[in-house]
Amino acid sequence: MVLNLDFYRGKNVLVTGHTGFKGIWLCKLLELLGANVTGYALPSPTEEGKKVFQQSGTETGMNAIIGDVRDFTALQQAFAEAQPEIVFHLAAQPIVLESYRNPVETYSTNVMGTVNVLECIRQSNSVKSFVNITTDKVYDNKEWPWGYRENEPLDGFDPYSNSKSCSELVTHSYQKSFFADGRVAISTARAGNVIGGGDFSPNRIIPDCLRAAYAGENIAVRNPHSIRPYQHVLEPLYAYLLIAEKQYADGNLAGWYNVGPDECNCLTTGELTELFCQCWGDIKWQDISVEAPHEARFLKLDCSKLKAAMGWQPKWHIEEAVAKTVEWAKAWQNNGNISLLMEKQIREFLED
């Protein structure tokens, strides 16, 4: 199966977290596919993020609502206005280290935010398909060398990862308790680490690379030996769209799906940084390994289920993903047309 590019045309779609890195790209994709998009999120916490949202041109093609997923009344109103047929839930506190600093905010956003979204769906007569975007970090990670499957135990270690495990369990409970009749098809998608233009989050390797490159400094790498499944942001977004479309037509396809790259694109943080340096040119990196709160050193996904159920396959190898990220970053540095560049990269991805 491949994504039916006409499926989303004219459909009402609600995206929580539309001002975030993934959310901006998802809304841009949906707009190009002809959907009527409503976004619901707080403003980006960084000035760069606010600028990316503005320069992406995304806001001009959608109904962008500023709101907190913890505010149930405001979220209800957004659902009432949008009358969505399809909902993608991306709103979250997404940073591991931040979750150590602010665990209560992390749990309240990532767990009760999910409860509020599902409760709005339960009260809605319009929603037919829902995808909750979680993370590969939901698993009880034994750091073994093979990929996790969807039936492995959930028990993320740090507050962020654990809150996303809880978000999964909330979704499973609502599905069994209130949607067993199939009136809404519900899935969760557990994606690996994503890279791409527009991510300026703290404590992530590619944003750290970009900040160093813009400043003309060496890149400082905290955990160069940690292995992660890296992929371009458009890879999981395409999968989310595919899941929502296919389960809309066939509720038997609803479930829990890993979304990650093939094994050849699981590499160390140091290897990824070296790829960035080669692509950017005239920059180096250094190992600054220090004592820090626990982060998993090894994590891989087995994506056989998504491939078998929906025929999904990753498109861009990590070298191309890094090249596209650097292309975006240099356009940003040179005040290029970010909106047109994002549209170009989306079209290139869809045509591959």
Domain ranges of the chain: 12-351
What tokens were used for 267? 């590499």
- Assign 293 a pLDDT band (cuts: 50, 70, 90): low
pLDDT band at 292 (very low <50, low <70, confident <90, very high): low
Residue pLDDT, tens place only, 204-234: 899 999 999 999 999 999 889 888 889 999 9
pLDDT band at 290 (very low <50, low <70, confident <90, very high): low
Q: What is the pLDDT of residues 153-187, one digit of tens each?
A: 999 999 999 999 999 999 999 999 999 999 999 99
- pLDDT given for residue 195 in this prediction: 97
pTM for the structure as a whole: 0.95
Q: Across the chain, what does the average pLDDT equal?
A: 95
Which CATH class, in words, describes the domain spanning 12-351?
alpha beta
Round to whole Å and give the CA distance between 139 and 135. Answer: 9
Candidates 232, 254, 243; CA nearest to 310 is 243
Locate 123 and state its tokens.
């009260």
pLDDT higher than 90, residue 203: no
